[in-house]
C-alpha cells in the first residue's frame, strides 16, 4: 500500500490520496482519492503501477473492486 500511496500522491492532478486499511481484516481497504478532474483519474487508472495494484489486489481481496465517484455539492 505504501508504494501505491507514494506513486499516487506524486501523480499529476492528484489533490489527495488516503489508503485506509481495516485493522482486524488486512484485506479490507478503502482508497479515498481526490483528483483535479476526470482526465487525471483516467490517466492515473492507466498508469502501470495501478494496473499492477489491481492485478495483485484482485487475487487476495476476496471481493469485487468497487469504484464510486462523488462530487462536492456547494
Residue 14 lies in a domain: yes
- pTM value? 0.77
Identify the pLDDT of residue 21.
87
2-14 pLDDT per residue, tens:
788 888 889 999 9
Cβ–Cβ < 8 Å for 13, 44? yes
CB atoms inside a 10 Å sphere around CB 57:
16
Q: What is the distance between the alpha carbons of residues 41 and 45, in angstroms, rounded to a whole number?
A: 6
> By C-alpha distance, which of 4, 9, 73 is closest to 40?
9
Q: Read off the CATH number of the domain in which 14 is found.
A: 3.30.70.100
> Given this model, what pLDDT does residue 62 score?
66
What's the number of domains the chain is made of?
A: 1
Distance CA 71, CA 24 (A): 30
Find how far residue 50's CA is from the centre of its chain.
Answer: 8
pLDDT tens digits along 8-63: 889 999 999 998 988 998 778 888 999 999 999 999 999 998 888 888 877 776 66
Residue 72 lies in a domain: no
Q: Within a domain: residue 52?
A: yes
Amino acid at each position: 500500500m505504501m508504494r501505491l500511496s507514494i506513486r499516487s500522491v506524486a501523480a499529476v492532478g492528484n489533490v489527495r490520496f488516503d489508503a485506509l486499511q481495516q485493522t482486524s481484516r488486512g484485506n479490507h481497504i478503502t482508497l479515498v482519492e481526490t483528483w483535479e478532474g476526470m482526465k487525471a483519474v483516467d490517466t492515473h487508472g492507466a498508469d502501470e503501477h495501478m494496473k499492477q495494484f489491481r492485478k495483485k489486489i484482485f487475487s487476495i481481496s476476496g471481493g469485487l473492486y468497487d469504484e464510486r465517484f462523488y462530487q462536492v455539492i456547494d
